[in-house]
Structure 1
Amino acid sequence: MTPDISVVLPARDEAGNITSLLTGIAATLQDRAHEIIVVDDASRDGTRAELAALQTRLPQLRVICHDRSCGQSAAIRSGVWAARGALIVTLDADGQNPPDNIPALLAPFAGGDTALGLVQGQRVDRRDRPSRRLASAAANRIRNALLRDGVRDSGCGLKAFPRMVYLALPYFDHIHRFMPAMVAREGLRVQTVPVTHAPRAFGRSKYGNLRRAAVGIVDLLGTAWLIRRRRLPRTRELARSGATDLRGAA
C-alpha cells in the first residue's frame, strides 16, 4: 500500500534517542497509511545498529544512509526524494520534537487547500539552554525583519508540507531554516501551529551558537536575494470559450 504520509527524520549520532522516538511516531500514526524514513547522516555511534534492529519491528521504517556527513538539509532532501507519500512531515531525531505533535501539523491539510504550502511548528516552553534560546530569538527577529515571512520559529524541525512543494524549491545548504520564506516565495500560504518541546535525553546538539550565527548570516543574505529575484506572473490559457486562470500572481 502506498503511504499517504512520509515522516522524514535526519539523524546523526542519535543512539539512545532514536528507538523511543520512532516507536512513538508509529503509535501516533497507527491509523494512517504512513512510512518513516530515517536518513543516517554518517553516524559514528550506535545509531545505525539501533535502526537495523528497529526494522525488524517496524515494517514501515526505511533507512537511507549517507556515505559522509552532509548536514541536516541534505539529509532532509535525501529523505524527501526517497519518500512515497504525498505529504511530508519532518522532525528532529534528537527526541526534542514529541511525535504527538504530528496530528496538529497534518490537520490543516485535511480540507484540501491547495494554496497551503507549509505548516510550521512553533515551539512553546522551549526546553533548551538559556543561551541557545536567546540566540535563537535574536536570529528569528533578524530573519523576520529581512525576509518578512511572519514566522516566529522557523528553526523548529516540526514541519508538514506537500512533497511536490518541496521539490519545486531551489535547494541550498541550511534551507530547512528558511522553509517558510521559500514556500511563501512560491506564492503559497504558510501556517504556524504551536508545538511542545522536550529536553534532550542523550547526546548533544550538533550546532554551537557561534557556528550557527556565522553560517546563518550568509544564508540569510542568500535567501533574501533569491526571494527578490523571483517573479511570478499571472498566467492563463486561451480557450475557445475564453481565458482560464492557471495561477495567481504572488
Structure 2
Amino acid sequence: MNAVPELAVVVPVKNEADNILPLVTEIHAALHGVVEFEIIYVDDGSTDATGQKLLEAKGRFPQVRFVRHRASCGQSQAIATAVKHARAPLIAMLDGDGQNDPADIPSMLARWRAEPEASREKLLIAGWRANRKDTSSRRWASKAANAIRAWALRDNTPDTGCGSKLFSRALFLDLPRFDHMHRYLPALTIRAGGTVESVVVNHRPRGAGASNYSNLRRALVGVPDLLGVMWLMRRSRNPVVEIPPQ
C-alpha cells in the first residue's frame, strides 16, 4: 500500500470484538475495484478482544490500519484520531456496530464525484436512516432530538446522528473539536461555509454486542452541547479571501 488511497473508511470502536471481521469484510466487498481505499480503526480503550480481532482483520485485509487509545476518550475523539491517521484526502465514516451499511459508500462516493471540484472541499454527505432498525424508545428519542436540534441550529439535516457520512479530510480538520462533536457535523460544516446533502441509507439491527450509550446519557450531554454549538454558530465569520496583485 505505497500509493496514497483516495478514500479512508474510519471506524471508531469500543468493545466491538464480534463486529470487527464481519464489518471489515463488508467494507472490502463494497469498495474493492471501486476505489483505492484504506480502513482506519481506532480502538477507544476496549476491554474485550477488539484488539485481537483487529490484528486478525489486518492479517486478512492489507487495507486495514488501526491505533488504540490507552483509555477511552469517547467517539468524537476516536473519529478525530482516525481522520488524523488517514492518508486519503476523502473520509467515509461508519459506526463500528455494523448498523451502518458499507454498501451505501459507493453511491455516496458517486454523488461526491458528481459535484463540481471547487465545491467538494466543503461538502458533507450525511446519511439519513429513513427506516431505522432500532428500538421504539431509541427511535422516539432520536426523532425528538433531531427536531430540537433542527429548530435551534437550522442545519436542514433530518438525521445528524447517523454514522454514515462522507467528507473531505481537510474540512474535518478545520472544524472545532469537542466531546460529542460528531453529532453536530452538519451544523459545523455550515458554520465553516460548507454545504450538507442528506441521502437515504440502509440501516440494520446491531449485529452483536450492546450499545455504549443510553437515551438518558445522550440527553444529559445533549443540552450543553446544543447550547455550545448555538454559540459557535452565532460567533462564526467566513471571510471571502482575495489575493491582490503582488
TM bucket (normalised to shorter chain) is: over 0.9
Q: Quick one: distance in 2 between partners of 1:200 and 1:229?
A: 39
Question: 2:108 matched to which residue of 1?
Answer: 105
Q: Deviations over 1:167-223 (max 9, x none)?
A: 011111111000000001111111111001000121111111111001011100000
Q: Distance in 1 between matches of 2:244 and 2:69?
A: 47
Amino acid at match of 1:88: I
**How far off is 1:125 after superposition?**
1.3
Match of 2:217 among 211, 235, 239: 211
Supply the distance in 2 between the matched residues of 1:208 and 1:104 (Cα, whole angstroms): 31
Contact 2:20-2:57 within 8 A present in 1 as well: no
Pair 1:189-2:192 in alignment: no
What's the secondary structure of 1:161's corresponding residue? Answer: strand
Aligned to 2:22: 20
One-letter amino acid matched to 2:223: I
Query: Computing the radius of gyration over CA atoms, which structure comes out larger, 1 or 2?
Result: 1
Partner of 1:54: 57
Amino acid at match of 1:62: R
CA distance in 2, matches of 1:91, 1:232: 29
Q: SS at 2:60's partner residue?
A: coil
SS in 1 for 2:222: helix
Question: So what's the TM-score if we normalise by structure 1?
Answer: 0.93
- Inter-partner Cα distance in structure 1 for 2:69 and 2:113: 34
Aligned counterpart, 1:248: none
Of 121, 125, 136, the residue aligned with 1:119 is 125
Partner of 1:176, secondary structure, is helix
**Cα deviation digits, residues 30-72 of structure 1 (max 9, x gap):** 0111000010001111111111111111011001111000110
Decide whether the 8 Å contact of 2:190 with 2:196 is kept in 1. yes
CA distance in 1, matches of 2:4, 2:244: 37
What residue in structure 2 maps to residue 245 of structure 1?
A: none
Give unmatched runs, 5+ long, in structure 2: none
| 2:73 counterpart residue number | 70
5+ residue gaps, structure 1, are: 241-250
Corresponding residue number in structure 2 for 1:80: 83
User: Secondary structure, in 3 states, of the residue corresponding to 1:70?
Assistant: coil
The CA distance in 1 between the partners of 2:58 and 2:18, in whole Å, is 16
Contact 1:14-1:203 at 8 Å conserved across structures: yes
Name the residue aligned to 1:131: 137
CA contact (8 A) 2:160 2:185 kept: yes
Equivalent position amino acid for 2:30 in 1? T
Deviation at residue 115 of structure 1 after TM alignment? 2.5
Cα separation, 2, equivalents of 1:24 and 1:171: 30
Give how far 1:27 is off.
1.2
Paired residues of 1:104 and 1:193 also in contact (CA < 8 A):
no
Taking the aligned partners of 2:128 and 2:118, their CA distance within structure 1 comes to: 22
Distance 1:99 1:38 in 2: 14
CA deviation profile, 1:126-167 (whole Å, cap 9, x unmatched):
000000000000000000000000001000000000000000
Identical residues among aligned pairs (%):
47
Task: Show the counterpart of 2:240.
Answer: 234
* 1:100-146 CA distance string (max 9 Å, x none): 01112212221344324200000121000000000000000000000
CA distance in 2, matches of 1:42, 1:150: 34
Provide the residue aligned with 2:32 in structure 1.
30
SS at match of 1:21: helix
The structure with more strand, counted as a fraction of residues: 1
